Amino acid sequence: MLVLFLNRINDKWLTKIEKLKNSYKDVRFEGYFSNPLPRSLIKDADVVVAPRLSKEEIESSNLKLIIVPMAGVNALDWEAIRKKNIKVSNCHANAPVVAERALALSLSLLGRVVEYDQDLRHGIWHGYSIGSPEQDYWFSLRNKTVCIVGMGHIGEELSKLLKPFNCKIIGVKRSAPMEHSDITSDLDWAIEVSDVIFIALPLTKQTKNLFDAQRLHRMKGKYLINVSRGDIIDEKAFFEALKNEILAGAAIDTWYLYPKNSDEVILPSRYPFNTLRNVVLSPHVGGYTEEGSEGVMNETFDVLHAFLSKGEVINLVDPEQEY
């Protein structure tokens, strides 16, 4: 059996891989640490640990299991996976820190922290010190109605973090009834009655552009925080809703354009979100902490141990739902 690591690894990963080698003598473990061209081994691998695989790589393989060392599995070609009947597992251990990031982004946005920081760096003051008008008020999260769209691991953790703020929390979950309650599948009603909306959904065919122009234009005066995937919100409509102050503001951690390498300088959208004062920009780092990285690493090895020792697949992704 061949287990192939195609993800970015560090010394902690290498230490765990060495332990695996000692525990499973009849299993080969390969990756960039052992082969300069590890993707050439996909056709021979039984298990691949990778954030993404191309359609061609999947079709040419005889894989039994793909382990995605993160929550998002939208970078896989699911049609090819279904045809090959390959099982897919993902990892959710960084959900608490992603939820923490979502909360931090909301407090920064509602509190106008970035906006006022940028002004004060140029000697421009707001608030009591200059007797500025009510337009300089920031917006407290306390006692507000908050909608969490997507009550999976991140949504559940975020709900816990919001409780000390005495927020009324409405969770949107596709499998919930349409009734108007604390957990509902009625997205439009939940948005209508909420002040702040968090998006914590997986990106699938059903959720792409879920927040389209029509839905965004019904969100007058509301705040939107996205820690899921950029394409859940229609890019042009999102920019226009912010530019025209339909949305009160947005904090965005997930985007539409990404650099191909660390040397590329690129804005995260085809539209100039960076020119808007009612936006907080974050470079898709929701889970990028030591705790988050170690959590998904440990969970990846838990999935591997279960498969190698018992043939069990834990954290199984539904190939029809694609999450």
At 223 the pLDDT is 98
Average pLDDT value for residue range 78-107: 98
Q: Are 208 and 233 in contact (CB under 8 A)?
A: no
Q: What is the pLDDT of residue 134?
A: 87
Task: Judge if 120 and 60 occupy the same domain.
Answer: no
Residues 89 and 138 in one domain: no
- Encode pLDDT of 241-274 as tens digits: 999 999 999 999 999 999 999 999 999 999 999 9
CA–CA gap between residue 243 and residue 256 (Å, rounded) = 17
Q: Which domain holds residue 40?
A: 2-93+290-310
Higher pLDDT, 128 or 65: 65
Is-contact 30 41, C-beta < 8 A? yes
**190 near 169, Cβ under 8 Å?**
no
Question: How many percent of the chain have pLDDT more than 90?
Answer: 98
What number is the average pLDDT over the span 47-70? Answer: 97
Q: Is the pLDDT of residue 155 over 90?
A: yes
CATH number at residue 169: 3.40.50.720
Rounded Cα gap, residues 97 and 73, in angstroms? 19
* Cβ–Cβ < 8 Å for 252, 280: yes
69 shares its domain with 130:
no
Average model confidence (pLDDT) across the chain: 97
Candidates 59, 62, 3, 10; CA nearest to 31 is 3
Average pLDDT of the segment spanning 278-288: 97
Contact by Cβ (8 Å): 170, 198: no
- Regarding whether 271 and 192 lie in a shared domain, the answer is yes
Q: Is residue 230 part of a domain?
A: yes
Is residue 100, in this structure, part of any structural domain at all?
A: yes
User: Are 126 and 241 within one domain?
Assistant: yes
Pinpoint the alpha helices (H) of the chain: 11-23, 55-59, 78-84, 95-110, 113-120, 153-162, 187-192, 213-216, 235-243, 290-310
Based on the fold, state whether residues 30 and 165 are members of the same structural domain. Answer: no
CA distances from 46 to 146, 246, 299 (A): 44, 51, 19
- Joined together, the tokens standing for residue 236 give 């042009």
Backbone region of residue 194 per phi and psi (left: phi > 0; alpha: psi in -120 to 50; beta: other values): beta
Which pTM value belongs to this model? 0.94
Cα dist from 209 to 42, 215, 231, 258, whole Å: 33, 10, 6, 18
238: exposed, middle or buried (Cβ count in 10 Å: 0-12, 13-18, 19+): buried
CA–CA separation, 230 vs 155, rounded Å? 17
- Same domain for 265 and 294, yes or no, is no
- Where residue 131 falls among pLDDT bands split at 50, 70, 90? confident
Q: Do residues 63 and 161 share a domain?
A: no
Total domain count, the chain: 2
> Does a structural domain hold residue 185?
yes
Check whether 48 has a pLDDT greater than 90. yes
Does pLDDT of 133 surpass 90? no
Q: Give the tokens for residue 207.
A: 């959720």
Q: How many Cβ atoms from other residues are within 10 Å of residue 213's Cβ?
A: 15
In a domain, residue 321? The reply is no
pLDDT tens-place string over residues 51-62: 999 999 999 999
Average pLDDT of the segment spanning 117-135? 92
